[in-house]
Chain A
Amino acid sequence: MRAFVASVVVMCAVAVAVDAHAEERRTVAVLEYRAGARGARDIGERLARLLRDTAALNVIDLAEARRKLPKVDAEVAKCGGEAMCVGAIGEQLGANEVLLVGVSQLGDTILALQRIDSKRGEAGARLAESLPADKEITDEQALGWLRQLFPPETFRRFGSIAVDADQAGAAVSLNGEPAGKTPLSEPVKVRAPATYKLRVEKSGYVPFQARVDVLPDANVEVHATLVRESKEVPWFKRWYVWATIGGAIAIGGVATAVYFGTRTDSTPLGYVMKPMP
């Protein structure tokens, strides 16, 4: 019965999307320039979507850019890739920087991605890729390019968990780390997307446990109801429950070991030695 109550409480957890971190974010406009190429048709839209989904950035995609600046495509084409000119367009769009996606065709489709600082009109990180005409671009591939272009912190995102309980003074922990006592003065800021093991416990009460999925920029509110302990052995204190969990952890450990054992971190590093002038 208590387990049922706890489950109900977990199901009552409410995810509230907040934009608490928006004010810290940079705005990137994803603009596209095509030199008569037909390949990689939706690459600009796709990169904008991936940036929006994975990075702590405000993203202006092509559609939004066209709404703000109806002649944006012609303006970008007129720039011919010149950073100062593209940067000026970024300024007009209210973007801190522009991710310029250039698509040309040389037998293969040639994709050139370049970050341009709007204010300074300076080109930053750049990446060029040759794509066979018959090969579809996968999201993984496109995300790989974005991760090469943008620093790792760009892809660190956060959410928060607000915990409330019907008992004051209950200890709150997330993944085993203490996070304060109820009532918490403010939501706990956590990395996202991620899953956290929330535990709220107080002596004399059955500990409340829940698995909380936190999406980026979302605030998850959890209302924990603590039930007084009885003599009856709760389900989570039964040996077979923990045996099952232990087995699962062991399998996960083996899988992790296999993954790390076979990843390319152990392969040689490569270098190009430039010709001496």
Chain B
Amino acid sequence: MSAITAELVPERDVTYGRSPLSHFAADVWVLTKRSIARIRREPETLADVTIQPVIFILMFAYVFGGAIALAGGGNYHEYLIGGMLGMGLAQTAPGVAVAMVTDMSTGLIDRFRSLPMSRWAVLAARSIAELLTQMIGAVVVAGVGLAIGWRVHTNAADVIAAFALALLFGYAFTWAGICLGMTLRSPEAAQQAGFILFLPMIFISCAFVPIQGMPGWLQPIAEWNPMSAIATACRKLFGNPNPAAAIDSWPLQHPELAVLCWSAVMLAVFAPLAVHLYRRKALG
């Protein structure tokens, strides 16, 4: 029988003495692997970046699409994908919140905090695992898009820029989801709050319908909605129909810059806030 405790663990068995950065990287890697292992065991957890976008695309392309007139004309199927990409990645945030609340409520985060591990590795690993998930989501959206007739009319650099912007945007939203998860008590509450916060945000934008069709008082909200910025940026970079280009509003005239700004603002607000909330929870 092996002794459970040992005052001295063999030196070669421990990583004490390595630099804090290498500890941080190792912890983030271990925890990211944890999330990947979970996805491999339960692929259905990917539903929010696979099945859900497919349903949205098919519904809008074949059910609502026919009733939506694009100002300036153009194919709705080509219009749709730019909006779907940003929306599809950003809407994973409620799932992040649920995962955070679950870890908190099962005591797993407490266990992590009692270990000699890097303190922020938990948050960093969560955001990286989510980024990997979002990459899968981006591939799914593009694949379904190609199947329903979406085409790009620009060069590879522009297409890469569009996907990079969408992933950056999604990554920024992940941190909002982490904050949300840290302020709520139950996974159900996180699910509800995510729905209530994100649904209006998705629909009061040009993600699915042109802003021109909205009542005048709603238009400024839609114009400044970050979701409109990412949809417009993607359409512009893909060379797809882009009615928002006709609207004289700063974020729609400079959509790539607007996406960068929104992402930077969200990261600047939510990443430190997430760390703060984590710390506050940690110290009671």
A binds B: no
